[in-house]
Structures are given as structure tokens and as C-alpha cells.
Homo-oligomer: A and B are copies of this chain.
Amino acid sequence: MGAVRDVPVHPEVEPLAFLLGTWSGEGHGEYPNSKPFDYGEEIRVWHVGKPYLGYASRTWALDDGRPMHSELGYWRLKEGRVELAVTHPTGVVEIEDGELDGMQVRLATTAVAMTPTAKSVTRLERDLKCTGSLLTYELRMAAVDQPLQYHLSAQLTRA
């Protein structure tokens, strides 16, 4: 009862179906006032036949496996625009909007809300590209009074 049945992808998000699956790989991050770091990452994208895709990412330190960042959210495709609605465990929720060009997506933050104790994030830009078996992204971030700049990049393969 309530199990996720074998249903077709909703036509509205069919152009995003290349994201579906479990992806794993490694990335590199840097930001002012912190040491550059390397991380492992797993990204899961799933669907239930409705006009959105579920999205979960978690990362861990490559040296000792301790959990680092994670994020949870949903992908939508409406009126030709990609919408990503996402929650960060730092107490930040965020709406990103962007364009889909084949299997490339370019997203940028359009709205942020946060808890009173969250570390302030003002803008993310995410360029994501898929070649079928390989998923790569670059993420730029403006946060804690720093201007928008390179923060993360990673390469993942379908598990």
C-alpha cells in the first residue's frame, strides 16, 4: 500500500528524465576563509509519476568519510523553465530558476528564505551537464558577505 509503482515519467518532466537515477562521484570545493577540500557525493533523483522529480544529494569528506553537506528538494519544468526548490540543512530554503538546453541546465537563485540562525546565502548559480553516463556540475555561491564566486565542481557517474 502506497508503494511507489512502476509508472511512466510525467510528460511535463520527461525532458529532465536524463537526471533520474543514483549518481556517485567526487568533487572539489573552495571558498574564502576555509581550506580547499575534496569530497565524495551521491545524488539521487526519482519520480512517482507526478509533474516533479525528487532530489537528494549528500557529500562526505574523502579523508575520513564524515558527512559534509546535503540538500533535498524537487525539480519542476514549467512554461519552458526549470524550477529547483531546495532545502539546505543550514536552515536555508531556496528557489532556483533556469534554462534547459538538451541535457544542460543553468540555474540561478531567485528567492531565499532562512531561519534566524542560518548562515546567510544570497545567491547560488549551478551549471549542470549530463552526457548520458556522466553528470558534472559547477556551483558558484555568494554567501556570508562574499561576492558570487566559484565554490564547487564535481563529476559523477550513474551507479
Question: Which of B54, B65, B83 has a CB less than 8 Å from the CB of A72?
Answer: B54
Write out the residue numbers on chain B whose beta carbons fall within 8 Å of the beta carbon of A87: 72-74, 85-87, 93
Q: Is the CB of A2 within 8 A of B114?
A: no
A76 and B89 CA atoms in complex are apart in Å by 8
Question: Which of B3, B40, B89, B94 has a CB less than 8 Å from the CB of A113?
Answer: B94
Q: Does A117 contact B (CB under 8 A)?
A: yes
A93 and B112 CA atoms in complex are apart in Å by 9
A94 and B98 CA atoms in complex are apart in Å by 20
Main secondary structure of the interface of A (DSSP, over half): strand
Q: Is the CB of A78 within 8 A of B117?
A: yes
Write out the residue numbers on chain B whose beta carbons fall within 8 Å of the beta carbon of A81: 116
Q: Is the CB of B1 within 8 A of A60?
A: yes
Question: Which of B4, B86, B95, B116 has a CB less than 8 Å from the CB of A67?
Answer: B4
Q: Is the CB of A91 within 8 A of B72?
A: no
Residues of A at the B interface (CB closer than 8 Å) are 1-5, 40, 42, 48-50, 52, 54, 56, 58-60, 65, 67, 70, 72-74, 76, 78-79, 81, 83, 85-89, 91-95, 97, 110-117
